[in-house]
Amino acid sequence: MSERTEHSEGRERMPSQHGMSGERLDGLSVRDVRVSFDGFTAVDGVSLEVPAGDIRFLIGPNGAGKTTLVDAITGLVRATGSIRFGDDELLGRPVHRISRLGIGRTFQTSTVFEELSVLQNLDIAAGARRGWATLARRRRGVPDEVAAALETIGLAERAEHLAGTLAHGQKQWLEIGMLLVQDARLLLLDEPVAGMSHEERDATGALLELVSRDRTVVVIEHDMDFLRRFARSVTVLHAGRVLSEGTVAQVQADPRVQEVYLGHPVDAGSTRTPLEA
């Protein structure tokens, strides 16, 4: 918030979630990334390319390093190697700077601001580039991009409700809406449909397809049915390394993937193996 840009009022920006924006579409490039905690290597030389506009699913058994990889991308943990989004190197930058480069994430547990209204949540998400002069004043009306996001995530009716009163699925949509108004061009979603009903999953999948028109999306997910329906490409992580990569069909046919999922019968992932098609 220290820099003021010409975007400081926010409303000058195009509502990019409808594909009208002239913002460039960037891909994510992860090269030989390693993350260690006290000698334990959680991510062990992962390289992957997510092309612009992809919906990439990251799967793998518990402890495979999926969330840690996302933590590394967003600056939450230290990593070595190289992570580029478009032309920007992300490693070594603080969390809020990485966010301002257009990288947004959600968490396994919902982290909306429960004591604030849906509208206030979105308004705050839209405002990271506001100057202090704007911050010192009251919000009057609804910024355009916030109004557009309210429609996109289907919460326009509940704009004035406290976020804490929303249903679980709605909170997840609010999180995604916050990424939209934040102008994230890379969305990193950590188990977005966990705990959702079938209808909510369908709606979330359709939302992902919509937002991926002008964004790059990376999803960590255990739900294989959801994966089969909405993934455009899949990366399988295992023990901190990339095990397999490709389309859903290619990954499902990969014998190494089958071995990992079937070779660990006690693992939570094994009950939902890609083979149970």
Which chain residues interact with other proteins by CB under 8 A? 1-2, 15, 17-18, 20, 74, 95-96, 99-100, 104-105, 107, 111-117, 119-121, 123-125, 127-130, 132, 134-142, 144, 146-148, 150-157, 159-160, 162, 164, 173, 178, 182, 198-200, 202-204, 206-207, 209-210
For residue 184, what is the DSSP state? Answer: -
- Residue 188 or 257 with smaller CB distance to other proteins: 188
- Residue 206 or 275 with smaller CB distance to other proteins: 206
In the complex, least distance from residue 247 CB atom to other proteins, rounded to whole angstroms? 22
In the complex, least distance from residue 256 CB atom to other proteins, rounded to whole angstroms? 34
In the complex, least distance from residue 44 CB atom to other proteins, rounded to whole angstroms? 25
Distance CA 203, CA 104 (A): 20
- Residue 144 or 225 with smaller CB distance to other proteins: 144
- Residue 206 or 262 with smaller CB distance to other proteins: 206
In the complex, least distance from residue 188 CB atom to other proteins, rounded to whole angstroms? 10
- Residue 16 or 235 with smaller CB distance to other proteins: 16
* CA-based max dimension of the chain: 60
CB atoms within 10 A of CB 58: 26
In the complex, least distance from residue 83 CB atom to other proteins, rounded to whole angstroms? 16
CB atoms within 10 A of CB 71: 21
172 membership: H or E segment, kind and range: helix 168-181
- Residue 68 or 99 with smaller CB distance to other proteins: 99
- Residue 74 or 233 with smaller CB distance to other proteins: 74
Cα-only R_g, the chain: 19
Q: Long-range contacts made by residues 200-206, C-beta under 8 angstroms, separation at least 24?
A: 200/169, 201/225, 201/226, 203/154, 203/169, 203/173, 204/169, 204/172, 204/173, 204/176, 205/229, 205/230
177-192 core/surface letters (b: 16 or more CB in 10 A; e: else): bbbbbbbbbbbbbbbb
**Which residues on adjacent β-strands are paired with residue 250?**
none
In the complex, least distance from residue 163 CB atom to other proteins, rounded to whole angstroms? 10
**Which residues on adjacent β-strands are paired with residue 80?**
34
In the complex, least distance from residue 236 CB atom to other proteins, rounded to whole angstroms? 26
